[in-house]
């Protein structure tokens, strides 16, 4: 993404925002509330269009008019609400909107539940997600399991880049570790990851690079390894990198 700009009336949400994500790279997107993170993710996902700027994917210019365009190009987004149907099974959630059918009595098209279950098991196994039964209802799963299912569903079709919005928010230590392991697995497969988070422990565990937004501009783009927690909080709050204490 290069020089992205987006305004809502007199409010400037993004101003000349530029950053890159490489294959298999995990980039954590940080910033205070109102910094422009949500707007940037919505542009990448095709939910809104920028007023100016350009995006490229594997060296080719891209422009999206809808989330469907973004998915077709290999970009997926998992928002914080996950968009799962709690009263459907895991398998049915995994194929929602992409159902395959078979012919009942050789005439009537009906959903192929057996194939859905097979595809679900294969997809979860490929990502190292453990689930005793793909036919359980999503409402019976833990927060970490739901997050894993939502991510696995998004990775169904040759995804090149995935945006994850606060994937560890409200999760316990064990559930967070489960999601962190899954994100590492995704990156190891060559998929780029943009991770929006306020959880500095997750940043420390996962980030190859961090991009900090402040008032719609990129205030920092680089490694987090040499930064203290106070410096990271300072960057998110003010957009300014303070000298390390001591």
Cα distance between the two ends of the chain: 37
Most confident of 77-81, 149-153, 204-208, 238-242: 204-208
pLDDT in tens, 151-189: 888 886 679 999 999 998 878 888 888 889 999 999 999
Rounded CA-CA distance 186/82 in Å is: 17
Q: Which two tokens stand for residue 166?
A: 């606060």
Q: Write down the domain spans for the chain.
A: 2-85+142-238, 88-136
pLDDT in tens, 47-61: 999 999 999 999 999
DSSP alpha helix (H) spans, the chain: 37-44, 67-73, 90-95, 113-126, 143-154, 173-188, 200-206, 229-238
Rounded CA-CA distance 170/173 in Å is: 10
- What is the topology classification, in CATH, of domain 2-85+142-238? Rossmann fold (3.40.50)
Q: What is the pTM of this model?
A: 0.85
Phi, then psi, of 215 in degrees rounded to 5: 55, 40
């Amino acid at each position: 993404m290069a020089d992205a700009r987006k305004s809502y009336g007199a409010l400037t949400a993004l101003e000349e925002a530029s950053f890159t994500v490489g294959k298999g790279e995990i980039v954590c997107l940080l910033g205070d509330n109102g910094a422009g993170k949500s707007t940037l993710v919505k542009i990448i996902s095709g939910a809104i269009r920028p007023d100016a700027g350009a995006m490229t994917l594997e060296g080719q210019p891209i422009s999206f008019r809808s989330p469907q365009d973004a998915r077709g190009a290999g970009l997926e987004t998992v928002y914080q609400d996950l968009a799962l149907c709690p009263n459907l099974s895991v398998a049915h959630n995994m194929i929602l909107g992409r159902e395959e059918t078979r012919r009942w009595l050789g005439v009537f098209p009906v959903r192929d539940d057996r194939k859905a279950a097979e595809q679900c098991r294969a997809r979860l196994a490929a990502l190292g997600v453990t689930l005793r039964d793909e036919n359980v209802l999503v409402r019976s799963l833990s927060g970490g399991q739901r997050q894993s299912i939502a991510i696995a569903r998004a990775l169904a079709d040759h995804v090149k880049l995935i945006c994850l919005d606060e994937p560890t928010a409200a999760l316990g230590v064990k559930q967070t570790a489960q999601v962190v392991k899954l994100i590492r697995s995704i990156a190891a497969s060559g998929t780029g990851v943009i991770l929006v988070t306020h959880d500095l422990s997750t940043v420390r565990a996962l980030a190859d690079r961090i991009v900090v937004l402040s008032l719609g501009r990129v205030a920092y783009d680089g490694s987090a390894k040499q930064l203290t927690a106070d410096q990271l909080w300072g960057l998110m709050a003010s957009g300014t990198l303070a000298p390390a204490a001591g």
